[in-house]
Structure 1
Amino acid sequence: MADDKEPSGAEKMFGDFAPALVAYTDDVLFGQVWKRPELSPKERSLVTVAALTTSGNTDQLVYHLGLAKENGATEQELVEAITHLAYYAGWPKAMSAMAVAKRAFRGN
């Protein structure tokens, strides 16, 4: 029987190229870690946006800003979080993250 489920982002990106990474991403990270009840999805999203910003991993930030909005974070909260991180993560990382957020939220 065919699986009619829409492929995950990891599956679309890596498919048969890196099946173990796809499985860990889908089954462990999003299937188990993100579903733990100790933090709400919104809190997990804010932590994730902060971690990506502080580490300078802006490639993953577009997806996680969108997920954060789906999880209840407002654009204003996300912009404020990135602004706050400028003092803890460093100005260049916050400026890079804010540029990604602006493109994600405003398209320019």
Structure 2
Amino acid sequence: MTEKTRPRDAAKAFTPALADFVDDPLFAKVWERVGLSKRDRSLITVAALVVMYRPEELGAHLRRAVENGVSKGELSEAITHLAFYGGYPAAISASAIAHDVLGALEG
């Protein structure tokens, strides 16, 4: 699996039905519900992935969070905050992934 390959894409060849379940209902229905903005859903998803230590999924969701309006500064603050709830090792790993995916935090 390359750095830019999404885990779902890499797994699709072996578990195509599982990939379909991710596309629909998750992305087609859950992410489209009006109860939360996509920005808020992204921030919640990143937080869950950080504290559950899911590095394989985190990079793609960090990129999606930025696309959905979460700033790099907000992601930095969220990861720092989560160190107290999900543990320092998970937060340090998330920080390294964020740097690899999004680059250094400016200013």
TM-score class, shorter:
0.7 to 0.9
Structure 2: state its 5+ residue gaps. 1-5
Q: Percent identity?
A: 46
Structure 1: state its 5+ residue gaps. 1-8
Q: Residue 27 of structure 1: CA displacement?
A: 1.1
Give the equivalent residue in structure 2 for 1:73: 70
Task: Please tell me whether residue 44 in structure 1 is matched to residue 34 in structure 2.
Answer: no
Aligned residues: 98
TM-score by structure 2 length? 0.86
Task: Please tell me whether residue 95 in structure 1 is matched to residue 92 in structure 2.
Answer: yes
TM-score by structure 1 length? 0.85
CA distance in 2, matches of 1:84, 1:29: 27
CA distance in 1, matches of 2:100, 2:11: 25
The more displaced of 35-44 and 17-26 is 17-26
Q: Residue 16 of structure 1: CA displacement?
A: 4.2
Give the equivalent residue in structure 1 for 2:11: 14
Q: Residue 58 of structure 1: CA displacement?
A: 1.0
Cα RMSD, aligned residues only? 1.4
CA distance in 1, matches of 2:96, 2:39: 22
